[in-house]
Amino acid sequence: MNEGKQLREGLARFMLNYQFAIEEVMTKINILKTEFEHLHDYSPIEHVSSRLKSPESLLEKARRRDIPLTFESLSANVLDVAGVRIVCSFQSDAYWLAKMIGSQQDITVVAIKDYIANPKPNGYKSLHLIVRVPIFLSESIQNMHVELQIRTVAMDFWASLEHKIYYKYDHAIPASILAELKDAAAVASRLDTKMERIHEDVQGKIPRSTSS
């Protein structure tokens, strides 16, 4: 087999394992969502999405971080090849979900970046967890890293617009737009706080028999 073909097949296999890891995590989240809906007639999970890092983006990150281009080294050092994003209703849901997922027996939380408590300088807010999850293959069990991003609808709205602007300006957003985005992040944050307060007030006022 020639070297190029071997590399392509190796990369396809490498990515396939991350796809399996995404499917494992998605199943766990969907179970939590369905169970919550069954018990409470609503779910704190608004929607869930996933993405597999593109080979270009994987190579770019490896180059940027001086990571050797071997599958072993990539899997040990690039922890967001598999990504799952959970968008929830309220900020407290984000922490609740992180706790629920992180406490499952076969999940190991490798790292937590709490950009909700400590937003990025541009205003980005989200709770990031790197988890390790086993995938059960025909001849082995592999432990795979998955990056979980958990954020509210308002944080997600902000992040998706900022992401588009970031690419539109080729990673160099003009200062005036940066300032507007930072202001918008503060507005989104106030909205989250207000919505959560209203939600708590209403929950408090609904008699228990009809609220659960």
Half-sphere exposure of 101 (CA within 13 A, CB side): 34
Q: Which stretch binds ligand 0O2 (CB under 6 A): 10-18, 91-99, 122-130, 200-208?
A: 122-130
Cβ atoms of 17 and 144 within 8 Å: the answer is yes
122 makes contact with ligand 0O2 (CB under 6 A): yes
Among the candidate windows 86-94, 135-143, 159-167, 184-192, which touches ligand 0O2 by CB under 6 A? Answer: 159-167
Question: Which strands form 127-136's sheet, in the order they lie side by side?
Answer: 45-52, 82-88, 141-152, 127-136, 108-114
Considering the rule CB under 6 A, would residue 168 count as an interface residue with ligand 0O2?
no
Structure tokens at 173: 């957003």
Tell me the catalytic residues.
Answer: 147
Contact flag: residue 18 with ligand 0O2 (CB under 6 A): no
Q: Which of 28, 125, 128, 145 binds ligand 0O2 (CB under 6 A)?
A: 128
Q: Are 133 and 50 in contact (CB under 8 A)?
A: no
Instruction: Provide, rounded to whole angstroms, the least separation between the CB of residue 122 and ligand 0O2.
Output: 5
The answer to whether residue 156 forms part of the interface with ligand 0O2 (CB under 6 A) is: no
Report the amino acid identity of residue 43.
S
Q: Which of 100, 108, 113, 196 binds ligand 0O2 (CB under 6 A)?
A: 113
Residue nearest to ligand 0O2 (CB): 124
> Minimal CA–CA distance to 50: which of 79, 81, 85, 78?
85
Binding part of the chain for ligand 0O2, among 23-31, 97-105, 120-128, 175-183 by CB under 6 A, reads: 120-128
**In this complex, which beta carbon is closest to ligand 0O2, that of residue 44 or of residue 83?**
83
Residues of this chain that bind ligand 0O2 (CB under 6 A):
61, 80, 83, 113, 120, 122, 124, 128, 159, 162-163
